């Protein structure tokens, strides 16, 4: 018998990127449409709105890097470009009627739990209340720029890839790219052809796995998928299954991992014939340990006549360029920082206060931690989507966001039915979960001795070490024993959990 719903939960979703859109569509489909999406940026799309650097491409195939509820048959490329992915997110927002829920240019400064619900303040001073807050604030959001001595004195242009400025103009210039991660590799490939000189400053070389990133998606396939949603569903399911192989490679030290690692080494050997350059490009750690870089063009670009790889440490920036530890001065017009992000800054710098005034900084004094990526002890009726440990590197982000949103929806149903007023995960359940995460991290490739952005200041790995089946099991049915449940019958009092 269907449960009778007696009230509609008021929901605030913070962020209109992949996680926020997944949450909003999932809630709406479940009949909960009393929500507002507060978005700091001037448009939806999250990371795809903020990142607009030349060469931006998603190295996950687009038939996988899409929402399960919004399959797109006609991606123009197998690995779509940033602008096409951004357009897709805007289209999904329109298609599912989210536009009227979204408030752009609305950065949340405060979110405070008042004992029954949340009071959320936006930068312009607007105050909103909600029964539930969904923090879909993303992971790679705050750009990191190293504090290089002399940077202020530089007379040329400086830009971070995550805040690209088209007015700079890079054609015909002497360009420095600092960084050799996924972004650095893409931006080097894109800027090298039109540069007078491109110098890449690479502190640590990365393994770069070859893939034909520019390959178009077949128009015939697009027609077939458009004509048959059933076929499209199957293709998506197969893509999810295939991504499980990559998760397995990351999680377990099997022959499959070794085979992929050999392929990464072969990618370098086959494409870079010059011995000294090859040595400079050879990392001293296992392939896949850092976030795997994929490119079909990088090794060609860095071997071009107008390109140079510099592995000497940057000692200072001068008014006219960059000086390295060997005493060499590199004349530069534009410095491009592809130096990544503050990746563990979830929800910061928001003043987030939970039960009894607990701040998120206090709760996370020992680093970000959540129960199953989504619930934080001390923060009732607040859930994260793609929160701590969200599965970069092992599971489709969209799959995980949708799964988490459906899990949260079950609490919304119980609230709507009048069964619960507040729900808060227990400290014990969270500790148990984090212990399981730490144990499962042991055999992962991320733990094989490299320095990557996956590590927190506390030396934990902020990733997801479980396969999709385990993930799905964890986020299918909430276990009441893991939660403190405040029920209306107890006048909002918090009932003690019975688990240990
Ligand atoms: P990243 O992987 O964190 O790389 C940052 C780079 O900057 C590294 O090479 C790092 O060197 C270097 N660096 C940092 N501080 C430096 C300093 N003081 N001096 C010299 N070099 C310095 O950042 P990212 O390339 O922006 O990528 C971040 C993540 O975004 C990726 O791992 C991926 O998850 C995602 N991404 C995905 C795609 C995609 O196609 N799906 C594309 C771009 C980005 P060290 O290695 O020595 O620290």
Q: Is 149 in the pocket of ligand 1 (CB under 6 A)?
A: no
The pLDDT, as a whole number, for residue 489 is 56
- Token readout for 429 is 């359940």
Ligand 1 probe mutation, 51, 147, 179, most atoms within 8 A of CB: 179
pTM of the model: 0.95
The pLDDT, as a whole number, for residue 306 is 98
Among protein residues, the one with the nearest Cα to ligand 1's atom 31 is 182
Which atom of ligand 1 is least distant from the CA of 453?
Answer: 3
The pLDDT, as a whole number, for residue 497 is 34
Q: Is 390 in the pocket of ligand 1 (CB under 6 A)?
A: no
Q: Is 339 in the pocket of ligand 1 (CB under 6 A)?
A: yes
As a whole number, the mean pLDDT across the chain is 95
Q: For 268-305, what is each residue's pLDDT tens digit?
A: 999 999 999 999 999 999 999 999 999 999 999 999 99
Query: What residues in the chain have per-residue pLDDT under 50?
Result: 1, 490-500
CA dist 14 and 222 (Å) reads 34
Which atom of ligand 1 is least distant from the CA of 60?
Answer: 41
Ligand 1 probe mutation, 61, 62, 82, 203, most atoms within 8 A of CB: 203
List, edge to edge, every strand of the sheet that includes 108-113: 127-130, 118-122, 108-113, 351-353
Domains, in order of start, for the chain = 11-44+98-142+342-490 (3.50.50.60), 151-216+223-337 (3.50.50.60)
Whether residue 405 contacts residue 23, with contact meaning beta carbons closer than 8 Å, is answered with: yes
Which atom of ligand 1 is least distant from the CA of 181?
Answer: 25
Q: Is 296 in the pocket of ligand 1 (CB under 6 A)?
A: no
The pLDDT, as a whole number, for residue 487 is 87
Whether residue 65 contacts residue 398, with contact meaning beta carbons closer than 8 Å, is answered with: yes
Q: Is 340 in the pocket of ligand 1 (CB under 6 A)?
A: yes
- Token readout for 239 is 């893509």
Q: Is 140 in the pocket of ligand 1 (CB under 6 A)?
A: yes
The pLDDT, as a whole number, for residue 2 is 61
Which atom of ligand 1 is least distant from the CA of 56?
Answer: 42
Whether residue 385 contacts residue 9, with contact meaning beta carbons closer than 8 Å, is answered with: no
Whether residue 180 contacts residue 450, with contact meaning beta carbons closer than 8 Å, is answered with: no
Ligand 1 probe mutation, 140, 183, 310, most atoms within 8 A of CB: 183
The pLDDT, as a whole number, for residue 267 is 97
- Ligand 1 center from residue 187 Cα (angstroms): 11
Among protein residues, the one with the nearest Cα to ligand 1's atom 33 is 182
Q: Is 183 in the pocket of ligand 1 (CB under 6 A)?
A: yes
The pLDDT, as a whole number, for residue 465 is 95
CA dist 170 and 183 (Å) reads 16
Residue indicated by tokens 């690995």: 79
Q: Is 190 in the pocket of ligand 1 (CB under 6 A)?
A: no
Whether residue 288 contacts residue 264, with contact meaning beta carbons closer than 8 Å, is answered with: yes
The pLDDT, as a whole number, for residue 4 is 79
Torsion on CA atoms 449, 452, 458, 463, rounded to nearest 10: -100
Q: Is 352 in the pocket of ligand 1 (CB under 6 A)?
A: no
Q: Is 267 in the pocket of ligand 1 (CB under 6 A)?
A: no
Residues 6 or more apart whose CB falls under 8 angstroms from that of 357 comprise none
Which atom of ligand 1 is least distant from the CA of 185?
Answer: 25
Give the number of residues written for the chain: 500
């Amino acid at each position: 018998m269907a449960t009778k719903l007696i009230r509609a939960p008021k929901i605030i979703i913070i962020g209109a990127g992949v996680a926020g859109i997944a949450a909003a569509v999932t809630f709406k489909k479940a009949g909960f449409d009393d929500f507002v999406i507060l978005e700091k940026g001037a448009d939806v799309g999250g990371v795809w709105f903020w990142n607009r650097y030349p060469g931006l491409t998603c190295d996950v195939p687009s038939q996988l890097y899409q929402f399960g509820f919004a399959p797109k048959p006609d991606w123009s490329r197998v690995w779509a470009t940033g602008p096409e992915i951004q357009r897709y997110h805007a289209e999904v927002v329109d298609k599912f009627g989210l536009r009227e829920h979204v408030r752009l240019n609305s950065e949340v400064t405060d979110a405070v739990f008042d004992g029954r619900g949340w009071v959320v303040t936006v930068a312009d001073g607007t105050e909103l209340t909600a029964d539930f807050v969904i923090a879909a604030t993303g992971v790679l959001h705050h750009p990191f720029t190293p504090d290089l001595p002399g940077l202020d004195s530089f007379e040329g242009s400086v830009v971070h890839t995550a805040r690209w400025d088209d007015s700079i103009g890079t054609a015909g210039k002497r360009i420095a790219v600092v960084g050799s991660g996924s972004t650095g590799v893409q931006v080097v490939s894109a800027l090298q052809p039109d540069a007078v000189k491109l110098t890449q400053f690479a502190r640590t070389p990365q393994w770069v796995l070859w893939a034909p990133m520019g390959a178009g998606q077949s128009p015939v396939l697009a027609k077939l998928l458009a004509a048959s949603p059933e076929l499209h569903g199957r293709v998506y399911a197969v893509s999810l299954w295939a991504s499980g192989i990559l998760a397995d490679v990351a999680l377990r030290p099997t022959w499959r991992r070794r085979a992929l690692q050999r392929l990464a080494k072969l990618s370098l050997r086959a494409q870079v014939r010059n011995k000294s350059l090859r040595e400079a490009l050879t990392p001293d750690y296992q392939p896949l340990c850092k976030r795997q870089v994929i490119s079909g063009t990088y090794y060609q670009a860095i071997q071009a006549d107008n390109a140079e790889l510099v592995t000497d440490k940057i000692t200072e920036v001068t008014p006219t360029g960059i000086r390295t530890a060997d005493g060499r001065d590199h004349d530069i017009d534009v410095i491009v920082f592809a130096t990544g992000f503050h990746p563990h800054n979830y929800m910061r710098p928001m003043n987030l206060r939970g039960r009894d005034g607990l701040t998120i900084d206090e709760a996370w004094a020992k680093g970000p931690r959540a129960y199953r990526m989504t619930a934080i002890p001390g923060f009732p009726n607040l859930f994260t989507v793609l929160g701590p440990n969200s599965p970069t590197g092992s599971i489709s982000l969209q799959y995980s966001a949708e799964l988490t949103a459906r899990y949260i929806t079950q609490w919304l149903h119980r609230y709507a039915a009048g069964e619960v007023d507040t729900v808060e995960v227990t400290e014990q359940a969270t500790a148990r979960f984090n212990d399981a995460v730490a144990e499962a991290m042991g055999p992962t490739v991320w733990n094989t001795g490299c320095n990557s952005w996956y590590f927190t200041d506390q030396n934990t790995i902020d990733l997801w070490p479980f396969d999709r089946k385990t993930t799905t099991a964890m986020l299918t049915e909430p276990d009441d024993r893991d939660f403190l449940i405040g029920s209306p019958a107890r006048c909002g009092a918090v009932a003690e959990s019975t688990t240990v």
